[in-house]
């Protein structure tokens, strides 16, 4: 299996700057940028070979050469690194704080005749997470959207430092509650890479089962929610029902509706109960039966399609520049899925397709989800048919491996690839950990996608992206 080695290497300043230039040229994709006192780190992937590496640069006097200076996707991560660790990126074009909120915040100007501003949030009208959107509009048309995030900042990286593996795993599982399985999986895989742990095959297959159930539940909820934001309530109700059926099946099989804390370093903490296979097969059959009718209604309702087709277009060039993961990237032509590349067990033994379209509008992001629902249903069936017997975790948990080390992982959550990096001390604690939610490289693209659309289409665009606030805000 092409598991990347992720070996971290400390580079000279010039090499770091050269990597930034290669990012600018589009030869590399940025998977994450974070740091610790004395060092800035970034995870990179070669666009042609898919090789993954982690680079570090020493920060004498807490300074390092900014990557965001030449590669815009690094700007927000560098602003966050400045807030959280105090490392100063030299030449960073935007020096406003990001996750730390103190003092006045100046929004970027938009100049011209007849412009007005609309401030929205952090407390929104719906039941959603906190964030601020500053629209500048000309009549109905959005001229500029600027996001201000960080309201859900909980200090996760700082809490991770020094935490036991159990506590760190719990924190990872709550980075973004809707992706609890995927975040836990990313963290667990990073720990296993650090400690050179090999988990039992049954654990890997059960993890994939949980992950596909999570993807299924979220995609079903999202498709309904996009319809709801186009004021088409009946599909929202129908998809909400299907989502609830998935959550109840998850609860019945694994004891938690969102499947929190089921993926742990070294394996899984739950098994499929005796009637679990029957229960999940019934779920798959039910979704298979109901889903096509609902998609037909979505596809054949002109008033609904009128809202989603051509709305909120994200260009393939931007999706590629930002290495946007998940349905955001795949709806704009970026053919990437971490289950396939770099890939992890047991997906190399499973058959699935990665849908890609190029239109980049709300409709395209809905359709990627529709196709992925079908793929996840097929994957769940394959896993149930071939679930290997055996134990659920390494015999001595995470302590089965070596004492200390450093590791990284890239895992496909429902909204895209989640990157995790961890360093473990000889006494079995987390020294440092960084989890990069896919939203880091999707939120900025929402600002681009909404430009020129009407304000009333923002909820629709926003829902079609469905970025995480908590996952991003750390």
Partner 1 sequence: MRRLLFKSFVQGTLTEPAPAPDERALAELAARVSQASHRRLGRALSIREVDAGSCNGCELEIHALGNVLYDLERFGLRFVASPRHADVLLVTGPVSVNMREALERTYRATPDPKWVVACGDCARDGGLYAASPACVGGVSKVLPVDLHIPGCPPTPVVLLRGLLALLESVAADARGGGT
Q: Provide the binding-site residues for partner 1, judged by CB under 8 A.
A: 99, 101, 122-123, 125-130, 150-155, 158-159, 167, 170-171, 174-178, 180, 221, 234, 237-238, 240-241, 243-244, 247-248, 251-252, 257-258, 260, 293-294, 297, 300-301, 468-470, 473
* 3 state DSSP class of 196: coil
For the bound state, the minimum distance from the C-beta of residue 96 to partner 1, rounded and expressed in Å, comes to: 14
Q: Cα–Cα distances in Å, from 389 out to 192, 272, 421?
A: 21, 11, 30
Tell me whether residue 26 or residue 292 sits nearer to partner 1 (CB atom). 292
Backbone torsions φ then ψ of 31, nearest 5 degrees: -100, -20
Q: How far is the CB of 368 from partner 1 (least distance, A)?
A: 21
Residue of 130, 192, 222, 236 whose CA lies nearest to 414 = 222
Q: Which is nearer to partner 1, 67 or 242 (CB)?
A: 242
Nearest to 166 by CA among 360, 337, 398: 398
H helical segments located in 352-419: 362-386
Residue closer to partner 1 (CB basis): 143 or 259: 259
Instruction: Identify the burial level of 109 via C-beta atoms within 10 angstroms of its C-beta, where 0-12 means exposed, 13-18 middle and 19 or more buried.
Output: exposed
Output 98 or 135, the one with its CB closest to partner 1: 98
The CA distance from 274 to 272, in Å, is 7
The whole-angstrom separation of Cα 325 and Cα 441 is 8
Length of the chain: 474
CB of 218 to partner 1, least distance (A): 9
Q: Looking at beta carbons only, is 45 or 283 nearer to partner 1?
A: 283
Task: State which residue, 152 or 318, has the beta carbon closest to partner 1.
Answer: 152
The nearer residue to partner 1, 179 or 321, going by C-beta atoms, is 179
Enter the tokens of residue 438: 């896919």
Q: How far is the CB of 127 from partner 1 (least distance, A)?
A: 5
- The answer to whether residues 143 and 112 touch, using CB atoms and an 8 Å cutoff, is yes
CA distances, 399 to each of 194, 207, 431 (Å): 12, 20, 16
Least Å distance, CB 100 to partner 1, is 8
Q: How far is the CB of 87 from partner 1 (least distance, A)?
A: 18
Three-state SS for 470? helix
Q: What is the CA radius of gyration of the chain?
A: 22
Structural tokens at position 181: 């399985």
Instruction: Decide whether 252 or 404 has the Cβ nearer to partner 1.
Output: 252
- Select 247 or 409, whichever has its Cβ closest to partner 1: 247
Q: How far is the CB of 16 from partner 1 (least distance, A)?
A: 29
Report whether 17 contacts 65 (CB < 8 A).
yes
Least gap, CB of 159 to partner 1 (angstroms): 5
Say which residues have a Cβ less than 8 Å from residue 318's Cβ, sequence separation at least 6: 324, 332, 445, 448
Which contiguous run of DSSP H or E holds residue 63? strand 63-65
**Structure tokens belonging to residue 347:** 């997906």
* 133 touches 115 (CB < 8 A): no
Between 193 and 247, name the residue whose CB sits nearer to partner 1. Answer: 247
What is the nearest approach in angstroms of partner 1 to the Cβ of residue 321? 27
- Minimum separation from the CB atom of position 260 to partner 1 (A): 7
């Amino acid at each position: 299996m092409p598991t990347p080695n992720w070996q971290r290497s400390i580079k000279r300043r010039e090499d770091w700057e050269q990597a930034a230039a290669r990012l600018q040229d589009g030869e590399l994709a940025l998977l994450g940028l974070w740091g610790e006192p004395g060092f800035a780190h970034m995870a990179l992937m070669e666009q042609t070979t898919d090789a993954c590496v982690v680079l570090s640069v020493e920060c004498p006097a807490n300074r390092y050469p900014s990557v965001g200076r030449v590669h815009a996707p690094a700007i927000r991560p560098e602003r966050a690194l400045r807030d959280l660790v105090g490392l100063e990126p030299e030449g960073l074009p935007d020096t406003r704080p990001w996750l730390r909120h103190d003092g006045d915040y100046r929004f970027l100007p938009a100049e011209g005749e007849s412009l007005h501003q609309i401030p929205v949030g952090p407390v929104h009208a719906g039941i959603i997470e906190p964030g601020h959107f500053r629209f500048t509009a000309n009549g109905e048309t959005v001229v500029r959207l600027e996001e201000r995030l960080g309201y859900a900042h909980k200090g996760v990286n700082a809490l991770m430092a020094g935490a036991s593996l159990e506590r760190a795993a719990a924190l990872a599982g709550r980075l973004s509650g809707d992706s609890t399985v995927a975040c836990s999986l990313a963290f667990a895989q990073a720990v296993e890479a650090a400690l050179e742990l090999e988990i039992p095959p049954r654990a890997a297959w059960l993890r994939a089962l949980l992950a596909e159930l999570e993807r299924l539940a979220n995609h079903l909820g999202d498709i309904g929610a996009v319809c709801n934001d186009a004021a088409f309530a009946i599909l929202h109700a129908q998809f909400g029902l299907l989502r609830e059926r998935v959550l109840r099946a998850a609860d019945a099989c694994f004891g938690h509706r969102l499947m929190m804390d089921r993926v742990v370093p070294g394996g899984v903490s739950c098994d499929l109960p005796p009637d679990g296979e029957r229960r999940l097969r019934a779920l798959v059959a039910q979704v298979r039966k109901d889903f096509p009718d609902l998609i037909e209604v979505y596809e054949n309702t002109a008033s609904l399609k009128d809202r989603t087709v051509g709305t909120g277009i994200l260009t393939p060039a931007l999706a590629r520049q930002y290495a946007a993961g998940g349905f955001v990237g795949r709806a704009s032509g970026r053919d990437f899925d971490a289950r396939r590349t770099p890939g992890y067990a047991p997906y190399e033994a499973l058959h699935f397709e990665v849908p890609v379209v190029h239109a980049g509008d709300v409709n395209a992001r809905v359709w990627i989800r529709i196709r992925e629902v079908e793929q996840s249903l097929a994957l769940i069936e394959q896993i149930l048919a071939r679930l290997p017997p055996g134990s659920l975790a390494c015999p001595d948990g995470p302590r089965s491996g070596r004492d200390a080390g450093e590791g990284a992982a890239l895992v496909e959550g429902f909204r895209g690839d989640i990157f995790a990096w961890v360093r473990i001390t000889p006494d079995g604690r987390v020294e440092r950990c960084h989890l990069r939610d896919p939203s880091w490289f999707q939120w900025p693209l929402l600002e681009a996608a909404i430009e020129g659309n009407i304000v009333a289409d923002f909820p629709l665009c926003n829902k079609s992206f469905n970025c995480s606030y908590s996952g991003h805000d750390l």
